[in-house]
Structure 1
Amino acid sequence: MDQTRSRITAGAALVGAGILAATPIVSMPAPSSVAALPEIELTAVNMVLDLVRHGQSVDNVEHIIGTVPPGASITADGAAQAAYLADPANPQHLLDPSLYTGIYASEFIRTQQTAADWLTAAGAPETPVNILGGLNELNAGFLNDADQSTINGLLYLVAPLAWMFGQYWVPQLGSTIDPNGMAFQDRFGDAVATIYANGGVLDEDGNLNGVAFSHAAAISTWAMMNVKNPDFGLFFSSLTQGLLPNTGQVVIEGNPTDGWTLVSWNGTEVAENPGLLTGLFVDFRDLIVAPQMAGWHITEALLSGDPAEFIAALEAGFNDVFTAFAEFPQAVIETISGSLGDAAGGGAGDAVGDMLAALAG
């Protein structure tokens, strides 16, 4: 990883701490919302989803912040990195293409080329790659096409770091694509929901398997905004080295109904139980995110001028906020009792959990 990126992301780690204190292409539209996918409610089967960053691009080499498609091509090194994804000697090699429910990529040339070079190396060059605009890189606003200097890199990442801590309202300055965390959550989340909803054959563990080629900032931000067990120590450690390396991967498991769990980050496994403090943070994050998302959807519906859409958004928003506040006390109780149960081997934690549940009831 070049020194420029290292300086940018090292500074971003400090900002984040401050916030805390030749392949066929098939275009696929994203659904308007997860609620529009009733099959998700019926199945709730888990999917193991591998989110893969593209291979080295010309923009990476020239230190350009390129966040508008189609973007730059990958380099010869990037093509070699993509091919290595098919090599069993690679600790992060991907499965045989036939085992995935689908192969997905963003609208950028660099992700599509990475997918194509991997498929060719894997002996499946005719496998279609489904294009989802929701997987596009996190838009940089007025910084798009700017030099990847330390200050520009910091400005690009300030808002996404805030979103990871539940502050979705913080604006991405100059961006009409990702003006805030609500808009980004909608578009990337809809892409993930589409991947899940397409279904497929279950593996021997009863899971679906999906793979999507996307971008470092988009993958990192969405994962940390959504997983139940965000590992901030691991995240900031990797951030100082430049987010995800080219063809680095974030693996998550779950479904849009029950949520997602972080399995590994660039090859490092992550504990399913995040610990007491992180668990309580996630409970609080989910609580404060609900009204922000509701307000955003209501505002969008109001601006559409469609009374029926506005009423639907108002009802959905009220239900989501009410549910979030109603479930918050129980979520906290379960987090505390679960943490104590892990620490005490289960017995003491269960007793404390029963006591807290009785008090809350």
Structure 2
Amino acid sequence: MRLLLIRHGQTPSNVGHFLDTARPGPGLTDLGLRQAAALPGALAGEDIAALYASTLTRTQLTAAPLAAERGIEVRIRDGIRELSAGDLEMRADEDAARQYLTTAFAWSAGDIARRMPGGESGTEALARFDSVVAEAAAAGEPGTVALVSHGAAIRVWTAARARNVTVGFAAEHRLDNTGVVVVEGSPDSGWTALSWAGTVVPEVTASGAADGGPAGRTLWGPELGPAADHPFD
């Protein structure tokens, strides 16, 4: 099974560096709308049989041009929404971004009992994303399945589930708005990442440490080290 994990287009909260994860969330900026409109062309070579989006407005707006161009329905699923920020919701300071990032990547590293301050645990977050992937796999679609989701959710799930993506790799490789991670496999046999935002993922990734946080701030933490400044969610 081939999965395209697509991050949504740009939102006002991305521009303002806010940890904005609650439903329904903001729409897209003018740039975000252009990014969404460009997706059908960018994915012209993909045989997309099914298209999913999260319950947040921004993913549905991002998926709409692709759905219209392919003549397929957008299947809305809560499981692939963004990782809940809990008590950190709508904060834009570096400390909040650090807490969010460190907790989220701890889940990828196996500490799934850890809980976001006032929010969900890694067990809950990964299970809900897994459930949508399992649904798509069980449907037995003959082509590729596209999931329009969120920066943190995609990076954390891929690092947790793809055999060739370490936490370090996911942490240091950004995923811009409408960036795509391509994985192949199944819930039973496991997953291998084929490409990450257009870059081929090696069979075994090097362990990196740098990352930009969900609110687009430079972060430092004992698990992750110094980071580059770029958007996450």
Please give the TM-score of this superposition, normalised by the length of structure 2.
Answer: 0.83
User: Corresponding residue for 1:215?
Assistant: 150
1:173 counterpart residue number: 117
| Matched residue, 1:94 | 43
Cα shift at 1:245: 0.6
1:55 maps to what in 2? 9
> Does the Cα contact within 8 Å between 1:101 and 1:198 map onto a contact in 2?
no
Determine the C-alpha separation between the residues in 1 that align with 2:162 and 2:170.
13
Q: Secondary structure at the match of 1:171?
A: coil
Shift of 1:133: 0.5
Is this contact kept in 1: 2:51–2:147, CA < 8 A? Answer: yes
What SS does the corresponding residue of 2:49 show, helix, strand or coil? coil
Q: Where is the strand percentage greater, Structure 1 or Structure 2?
A: 2
The higher relative CO (CA closer than 8 Å, separation ≥ 6) is in 2
Aligned pair in 2 of structure 1 residues 103, 67: CA closer, same or farther (>3 Å)?
same
| Aligned pairs (5 A) from 1:72-91 | 72-87=26-41
Does structure 2 retain, via aligned residues, the 8 Å contact 1:135–1:188? yes
Number of the residue aligned with 2:217: none
Counterparts of 1:150-299 in structure 2, within 5 Å, are 150-175=94-119, 178=120, 180-201=121-142, 208-232=143-167, 234-238=169-173, 243-272=174-203, 274=204
Q: Return the offset for 1:96.
A: 6.2
TM-score, normalising length from structure 1? 0.54
The amino acid that maps onto 2:95 is I
Report the AA paired with residue 104 of structure 1.
Y
Unaligned runs of 5+ in 1: 1-46, 88-92, 202-207, 279-361
Q: Deviations over 1:47-66 (max 9, x none)?
A: 11000000001211222211
Report how far residue 169 of structure 1 moved: 1.9
1:157-176 Cα shifts (integer Å, max 9, x gaps)? 1111111211112221101x
The 2-side partners of 1:232 and 1:144 are apart by 24
C-alpha distance in structure 1 between counterparts of 2:84 and 2:114, whole Å: 14
Counterpart residue type for residue 129 of structure 1: V
- For 1:83 and 1:251, locate their aligned partners in 2 and report how far apart those are by CA, in whole Å: 20
How far apart are the structure 2 equivalents of 1:245 and 1:214? 12
**Counterparts of 1:131 and 1:231, CA distance in 2:** 29
Alignment partners' CA distance in 1, 2:20 and 2:149: 13
Q: Is the 8 A contact 1:51 1:212 kept in 2?
A: yes
What amino acid maps onto 1:221 in structure 2? Answer: V
Structure 1 residues 60 and 68: CA distance shift in structure 2, 3 A: same
In structure 2, which of residues 50, 66, 76 is the aligned counterpart of residue 118 of structure 1?
66
Q: Call closer, same or farther: CA 1:66–1:77 in 2, change over 3 Å.
A: same
Write the deviation string for residues 227-264 of structure 1: whole angstroms up to 9, x where unpaired. Answer: 111145543332xxxx4110011111000111111111
Task: State the number of aligned residues.
Answer: 207
What is the root-mean-square deviation of aligned Cα atoms in Å? 1.9
Equivalent-residue separation in structure 2 for 1:164 and 1:63 (angstroms): 23
Does the 8 Å contact 1:253/1:260 carry over to 2? yes
State the secondary structure of the residue aligned to 2:40: coil
User: Which 4+ residue blocks in structure 1 deviate beyond 4 angstroms?
Assistant: none
Determine if contact 1:101/1:199 at 8 Å carries over to the other structure.
Answer: no
Change (3 A) 1:76 1:117: farther
Q: Say whether the 8 Å CA contact 1:101–1:200 is kept in structure 2.
A: yes
User: What CA deviation, in whole Å up to 9, does each residue of 1:291-346 have, x standing for no partner?
Assistant: xxxxxxxxxxxxxxxxxxxxxxxxxxxxxxxxxxxxxxxxxxxxxxxxxxxxxxxx
Distance apart, 1:83 and its partner CA = 1.4
2:77 matched residue in structure 1: 132
Distance in 1 (CA, whole Å) between partners of 2:45 and 2:122 is: 35
Tell me the percent identity: 37
Greater percentage in helix: 1
In our comparison, the structure showing a higher alpha carbon Rg is 1
8 Å Cα contact 2:4/2:181 also seen in 1: yes
Q: Which runs of 5+ in 2 are unaligned?
A: 208-233
Measured against aligned partners, the alpha-carbon deviations of 1:53-81 in whole angstroms (never above 9, x if no partner) come to 00001211222211111100011100111
